[in-house]
Structure 1
Amino acid sequence: MKSEEVGQAIFETWTVEEVAKAMKENKIVLIDVRTPQEYMFEHVEGALLMPLAFFKPDALPGQSDKKIVLHCGSGARSEKMARLAIESGLARIAHMEGGFGAWKGAKLPYIGTNMATGAPHRVD
């Protein structure tokens, strides 16, 4: 994990492996900032959705028990949203480097769409 001080806040960049481990250990809340359509087509199992267009940093859950990690498709939108959250007063926020593309590239499991039926299914 990389950390950067931004004013009085801490901005963290996590690898997909760090995110997967922390999710398995129930230590983070992963928030997907992609569009609802992107999320419905495929997403990290257990990730919550807060699309960029409706992103409200003050609506994020507290971080007393679990850290918040944002992610998108490539890492660009989630980094932008994390920095916006810091500007809005959050003292600590993280994003996943490389986004969902890196998650899939690392062959980590996710929820995809069965193209024959349109139903969601786990992709390992």
Structure 2
Amino acid sequence: MTLNVKDMIAAAEAEIVTLDASIASDRHGAKGVRFIDLRDRRELEREGRIPGAFHCPRGMLEFWIDPASPYHKPIFAEDVQFVFYCASGWRSALSAKTAQDMGLKKVSHLGGGFSAWRDAGLPIEDVAAK
């Protein structure tokens, strides 16, 4: 193997903006900022989410961003700052890099992910199972 996940994350983080939990918290709820939760549904139901975050399963990100895709979601055409997060910041680092490569201009990710947010004692909302 010539490339591993650790290397991929480091390469992504060299090209994207990483926000720590306190800075992300300052931006949370601001006009023109959208938090994107990349975790799977089981993680949301088990742990909750950052209030108001939009859920985008990591496996659908590219399809939801691409306006030519039949799965495109209008949220990704908005002129807003996207703050991606996952559980620990690995998936969100790769996702922020992918989103940036796909043309989204204002992209960042939450370093340390939802765990960092939770450990900082920041607000969490429950997500009921459907």
**Displacement over 6 Å in runs of 4+:** none
Gaps of 5+ in 1: 114-118
Percent sequence identity over matched residues? 28
When the two structures are superposed, what TM-score results if normalisation uses the length of structure 1? 0.74
| 1:43 to 2:58 alignment | no
Task: Work out whether 1:68 is the aligned partner of 2:55.
Answer: no
* Higher helix content, 1 or 2: 2
Q: Pick the structure with more strand per residue.
A: 1
Q: Deviations over 1:68-87 (max 9, x none)?
A: 11000000000011111122
| Unmatched 5+ stretches in structure 2 | 1-12, 67-71
For 2:82 and 2:38, the matched residues in 1 are separated by 12
Aligned-residue Cα RMSD (Å) equals: 2.3
1:17 aligns with 2:31: no
Corresponding residue for residue 31 of structure 1: 36
TM-score normalised to structure 2 length: 0.71
Alignment of 1:1-124 (within 5 A): 6=15, 11-41=16-46, 42-56=48-62, 57-58=65-66, 59=72, 60-64=75-79, 66-112=80-126
Q: Supply the distance in 2 between the matched residues of 1:43 and 1:92 (Cα, whole angstroms).
A: 22
> Highest relative contact order (Cα 8 Å, sep 6+), 1 or 2?
2
